[in-house]
């Protein structure tokens, strides 16, 4: 593609486009991330507000593929707007879009003819799927969540980033492998809000799981509006053996 804006990426880089859990807080956006290698850019989850933030980092025609973990609106509701932006305001003719069958279903529902396949090259992925996007390999694992939800491992050579997406306690990062350079994990709950009835995990649970797979670095995301992010950070840091940081919109984390 012309006009590529990869920047000086070594290994893999993770840029946060939005990280609010369930809905966006003031001046925030819901879940969305860029995963970049030296030659490939993948947009991961398309929560509301992420399209605007993406354009601060790359151009729309820089994206090699969009990958969406599940069809809850805080992870996919920007997709119909993304369709319109590309279809009517860029010269891009086709764009790979990977997600569950329900991600496509809810996106197609916004199209007048019920089919966004005239622009998106849809690839339905599920538990155990492995795909190649440029020089990045993506492996999927179904998590413990009320709808089909896919965690992801992004690998380039010997570098990897694990993304939990949304999950409850009955799924483990070990399903993606071991030794990730970065775990991008939901830490939706704190000790005070943790409950088996809520289909999310606490910061302490996330950190303990990241320890088990030998993660080098932990980035806590999906903090709900109204909850103190520093509380989430402190509870994760008290459990995790390595470096713990908060996902912050606009921030980039590098594996090198």
Instruction: Kindly report the CATH number assigned to the domain that includes residue 91.
Output: 3.60.15.10
Q: Which domain holds residue 164?
A: 13-254
Query: Which of 183, 239, 249, 173 lies closest to 216 in space, CA to CA?
Result: 183
Mean pLDDT of the region 191-202: 96
What is the pTM (predicted TM-score) of this model? 0.96
Mean pLDDT of the region 38-65: 98
CB 235 within 8 A of CB 200: no
Residue 117 lies in a domain: yes
Residue 164 lies in a domain: yes
Residue 124 lies in a domain: yes
Residue 206 lies in a domain: yes
Residue 205 lies in a domain: yes
Residue 80's pLDDT is what? 98
User: How many domains, the chain?
Assistant: 1
Residue 110 lies in a domain: yes
What pLDDT, in 10s, does the model give residues 146-189?
Answer: 999 999 999 999 999 999 999 999 999 999 999 999 999 999 99
Q: What is the mean pLDDT of the chain?
A: 96
Residue 2 lies in a domain: no
Query: Which of 208, 228, 226 lies closest to 218 in space, CA to CA?
Result: 208
Residue 1 lies in a domain: no
Taking the C-alpha atoms of residue 147 and residue 100, their distance in angstroms, rounded to an integer, is: 10
């Amino acid at each position: 593609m012309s006009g590529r804006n990869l920047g000086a990426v070594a290994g893999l880089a993770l840029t946060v486009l939005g990280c609010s859990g369930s809905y966006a807080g003031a001046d925030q956006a819901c879940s969305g991330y860029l995963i970049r290698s030296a030659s490939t850019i993948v947009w991961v989850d398309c929560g509301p507000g992420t399209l605007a933030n993406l354009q601060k980092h790359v151009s729309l025609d820089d994206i090699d593929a969009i990958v969406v973990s599940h069809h809850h609106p805080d992870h996919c509701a920007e997709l119909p707007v993304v369709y319109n932006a590309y279809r009517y305001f860029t010269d891009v003719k086709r764009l790979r879009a990977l997600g569950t069958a329900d991600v496509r279903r809810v996106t197609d529902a916004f199209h007048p003819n019920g089919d966004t396949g005239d622009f998106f090259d849809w690839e339905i992925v599920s538990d155990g799927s492995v795909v190649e996007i440029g020089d990045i390999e993506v492996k999927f694992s179904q998590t413990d969540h009320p709808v089909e939800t896919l965690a992801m491992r992004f690998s380039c050579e010997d570098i990897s980033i694990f993304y939990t997406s949304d999950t409850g306690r009955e799924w483990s990062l070990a399903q993606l492998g071991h030794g990730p350079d970065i775990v991008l994990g939901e830490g939706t709950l704190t000790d005070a809000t943790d409950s088996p009835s809520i289909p999310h995990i606490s910061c302490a649970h996330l950190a303990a799981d990241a320890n088990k797979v030998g993660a080098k670095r932990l980035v806590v995301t999906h903090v709900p509006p109204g909850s103190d992010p520093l509380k989430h950070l402190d509870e994760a840091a008290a459990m995790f053996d390595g470096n713990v940081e908060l996902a912050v919109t606009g921030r980039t984390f590098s594996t090198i």
